[in-house]
Amino acid sequence: MQVWPGQPYPLGATYDGVGTNFAVFSESADRIELCLLGPDDVETTIELRETDAFVRHAYLPGIQPGQRYGFRVHGSYEPARGQRHNGAKLLLDPYAKAMSGTIDWDESVYGYHFGAPERRNDLDSGPHTMHSVVINPYFDWGNDRPPRTEYHRSVIYEAHVKGLTQLHPGIPEEIRGTYAALAHPALIEHLAKLGITAIELMPVHQFVRDHRLRDIGLSNYWGYNTIGFFAPHGSYSSVGDRGQQVQEFKSMVKALHAAGIEVILDVVYNHTAEGNHLGPTLSMRGLDNASYYRLAPDRRYYTDTTGTGNSLLMRSPHVLQLIMDSLRYWVTEMHVDGFRFDLAATLARQFHEVDRLSSFFDLVQQDPVVSQAKLIAEPWDVGEGGYQVGNFPPLWTEWNGMYRDTVRDLWRGENATLAEFGSRLTGSSDLYQHDGRRPIASINFITCHDGFTLRDLVSYNDKHNEANGEHNRDGESFNRSWNCGVEGPTKDTRVLELRARQQRNFIATLLLSQGVPMLSHGDELGRTQGGNNNAYCQDSELSWVNWPGDGELLEFTQGMVWLRRNHPVFRRRRFFRGRPVAAAHDDLTDIAWFTPGGEEMTERDWSASYAKSLTVFLNGAAISEPDRRGGRITDDSFLLLFNAHHESLQFIVPREHGEEWQVVVDTTLATLPTPGTGLRVKEGDGLWLADRSLLVLQRPA
pLDDT, tens digit (0-9, with 9 covering 90-100), for 679-696: 999 999 999 999 999 999
CATH of residue 619: 2.60.40.1180
- Number of domains, the chain: 2
CA distance 101 to 4: 29
Instruction: Please give the Cα distance from 142 to 193 (Å, whole number).
Output: 25
Residue 368: exposed, middle, or buried by beta-carbon count in 10 A (0-12, 13-18, 19+)? exposed
Mean pLDDT of the 317-342 span: 97
Beta-strand pair 442-445/50-52: unpaired
Strand (E) or helix (H) holding 198: strand 198-201
**Does residue 405 surpass a pLDDT of 80?**
yes
Q: What is the pLDDT of residues 535-547, one digit of tens each?
A: 999 999 999 999 9
Q: Are 413 and 388 contacting, i.e. CB atoms less than 8 angstroms apart?
A: no
Q: How far is CA 46 from CA 56, 62, 94, 520, in A?
A: 12, 14, 18, 48
Element (H, E) at 9: none
Residues acting as catalytic residues: 342, 378
The stretch 493-500 carries a mean pLDDT of 98
Query: pLDDT band for position 609 (50/70/90)?
Result: confident
Confidence of residue 626 (pLDDT cuts 50, 70, 90): confident
pLDDT of residue 701: 80
280 and 121 Cβ atoms separated by less than 8 Å? no
pLDDT tens-digit readout, 547-577? 999 999 999 999 999 999 999 999 999 999 9
pLDDT grade for 517, boundaries at 50, 70 and 90: very high
Q: How confident is the model at residue 584 (pLDDT cuts 50, 70, 90)?
A: low
Give the whole-angstrom CA distance, residue 684 versus residue 160.
Answer: 48
CATH number at residue 73: 2.60.40.10
What are 469's strand-pairing partners? none
Residue 50: inside a domain: yes
> Does residue 646 lie within any of the structural domains?
yes
Q: How many CB atoms lie within 10 A of CB 409?
A: 19
Reply yes or no: is the peptide bond before residue 10 cis, omega within 30 of 0: yes
What 3-state class would DSSP assign to 528?
coil
Note whether residue 250 is domain-resident: no
For 466-514, give the secondary structure using H, E and C.
HHHCCCCCCCCCCCCCCCCCCCCCCCCHHHHHHHHHHHHHHHHHHHHCC
pLDDT of residue 336: 98
Distance CA 71, CA 368 (A): 33
Residue 264's closest CA among 375, 343, 351? Answer: 375
Question: How is 634-701 classified by DSSP, letter by letter?
Answer: ---EEEEEEE-SSS-EEEEPPTTS-SEEEEEEETTSSSPPPTT-SPEEETT-EEEEPSSEEEEEEE--
pLDDT at residue number 414: 95
The pLDDT of 211-220, averaged and rounded, is 96
Polymer length of the chain: 701
Q: Is the pLDDT of residue 175 over 90?
A: yes
- DSSP-derived letter for residue 523 is G
In a domain, 540, yes or no: no
Closest residue by Cα to residue 413 from 608, 692, 651: 692
Assigned domain for 629 exists: yes
Bridge partners for 594 per DSSP? 600, 615
Contacts of residue 215, defined as CB under 8 A and 6 or more positions apart, other chains included, come to 105
Per residue in 648-685, is it b (16+ CB within 10 Å) or e — as a string?
A: ebebbbbeebbeebbbbbbbbebebeeeeebeebebee
Max CA distance (Å), the chain = 88
Q: Mean pLDDT across the chain, nearest whole number? A: 96
Q: Which of 568, 404, 529, 561 is nearest to 478 (CA)?
A: 404
Q: Is the pLDDT of residue 165 over 70?
A: yes
Which residue, of 79, 107, 134, is where some domain finishes?
134
1 band by pLDDT with thresholds 50, 70 and 90: confident
pLDDT of amino acid 352: 59
Per-residue confidence at 627, pLDDT binned at 50, 70, 90?
confident
Query: By C-alpha distance, which of 522, 482, 472 is closest to 502?
Result: 482
Average pLDDT of 61-89? 98
Task: Name the pairing type of β-strands 156-159 and 516-520.
Answer: parallel
Q: CB of 8 within 8 A of CB of 57?
A: yes
Last-in-domain residue among 119, 134, 149 = 134
pLDDT band at residue 520, thresholds of 50, 70 and 90?
A: very high
Listed in sequence order, the residues at least 6 apart from 307 whose beta carbon sits closer than 8 Å to its beta carbon are 382
Position 357 pLDDT exceeds 70? no
Domain contains 103: yes
**What CA–CA distance (Å, rounded) separates 456 from 482?**
9
What pLDDT does 586 receive? 75
- Residue 677 in any domain: the answer is yes
Q: At 668, phi and psi to the nearest 5?
A: -80, -15
Which residues are bridge partners to 660 per DSSP? 682
- Structural domain that includes position 27: 12-134
Q: What is the pLDDT of residue 583?
A: 67
Secondary structure letter of residue 599 according to DSSP:
P
Compute the distance between CA of residue 660 and CA of residue 679 in angstroms, rounded to an integer: 11
Whole-angstrom Cα distance, residue 121 to residue 119? 6
| Partners of residue 199 on adjacent β-strands | 157, 263
Number of H helices, E strands in the chain: 15, 31
Tell me what percent of the residues of the chain surpass a pLDDT of 70. Answer: 98
The two beta strands, 12-15 and 442-445, are unpaired
Distance of alpha carbon 254 from alpha carbon 523, whole angstroms: 26
pLDDT single digits (tens) 251-306? 999 999 999 999 999 999 999 999 999 999 999 999 999 999 999 999 999 999 99
pLDDT at 590 over 80: yes
E strands, 307-350, are 338-341
Rounded to 5 degrees, φ, ψ at 424 are -70, -40
Rounded average pLDDT over 176-181? 98
Q: What's the CA gap between 571 and 511, in Å, rounded?
A: 9
Q: What is the pLDDT of residue 349?
A: 81
The predicted structure's pLDDT at residue 355 = 64
Query: What pLDDT is attached to residue 358?
Result: 78
Q: Report if residue 459 sits inside a domain.
A: no
Q: Domain boundary residue among 134, 157, 172? A: 134
Please tell me which residue, 700 or 64, carries the higher pLDDT value. Answer: 64
What would the mean pLDDT of 519-545 be, rounded to a whole number?
98
| Residue bearing the bigger pLDDT, 345 or 500 | 500
Query: What does the pLDDT read at residue 587?
Result: 79
